[in-house]
Amino acid sequence: MAIADMVVEAQKTFPSLQIAYKDSSWLMKLLGALLFFAPKFMTSYVTTIGYNVYFPNQAFMISSPRIPPASCWWMNWQAVSLPIFDPQYTS
């Protein structure tokens, strides 16, 4: 399933869903600094906090039109109602 399709489907269940990019979020930059032991956090993880899903950057969305289902935030939303904090490794 394409990322854009997953977002549309998820917004039906979670109308407050927001897509954001880590490279333009001060919160994600702070978390990236705090998670110095996970150097790929800013580039290879999709992170969910509340209704916000943070992708590494917009280029990631374009270059990765599909994410393997086993490593996808969408699978978590199908299984449970809403993750509070859920980083998912994508590479």
pLDDT tens profile 18-73: 889 999 999 999 999 999 998 999 988 888 888 888 888 888 777 766 655 444 55
Give Cβ neighbours of residue 1 (< 8 Å, ≥ 6 apart). 66, 69, 74
Mean pLDDT of 3-17: 80
H/E stretch holding 89 reads strand 85-89
Q: In the 3-class helix/strand/coil scheme, how is 25-70 assigned residue by residue? A: CHHHHHHHHHCCCCCCHHHHEEEEECCEEEECCHHHHHHCCECCHH
pLDDT given for residue 85 in this prediction: 53
Residue from 61, 59, 86, 60 nearest 74 by CA: 86
